[in-house]
Amino acid sequence: MNLQIRDPRARKLAEQLAAELNITMTEAVVEALEEKMQRLEKQRATKTPLAERHSDFAARFQALGQGEGRVMSKDEIDEMWGH
């Protein structure tokens, strides 16, 4: 199967990389794509899991909320909301 690059910018980049590495344009495109995939996989592997990030976020806000306030009774809350 032939590789057809119709976008002028993509073609120019592929030609430059192929010339720099002394390889075919197809090999240059494959190498570039493989390198990008490896970088994405590495990013995913080092990224903190979402649940852990949320837990850290919640802990910071909980610490901010621990001031000199007091726990309100249900009646006080109802009154505040006009019930």
Please give the structure tokens belonging to residue 43. Answer: 């990013």
Residue 14, number of CB atoms within 10 A of its CB: 20
Structural domain includes residue 77: no
Tell me how many domains the chain contains: 1
pLDDT tens across the length of the chain (83 residues): 677 889 999 999 999 999 999 999 999 999 999 999 999 999 888 888 888 888 888 888 888 877 777 888 999 999 999 98
Does the predicted TM-score (pTM) go above 0.75?
Answer: no
User: Residue 1 is part of which domain span?
Assistant: 1-56
In this prediction, residue 65 carries a pLDDT of: 75
Structural domain includes residue 48: yes
DSSP per position, 4-49: ----HHHHHHHHHHHHHHTS-HHHHHHHHHHHHHHHHHHHHHHSPP
Cβ–Cβ < 8 Å for 27, 14: no
CA dist 59 and 13 (Å) reads 47
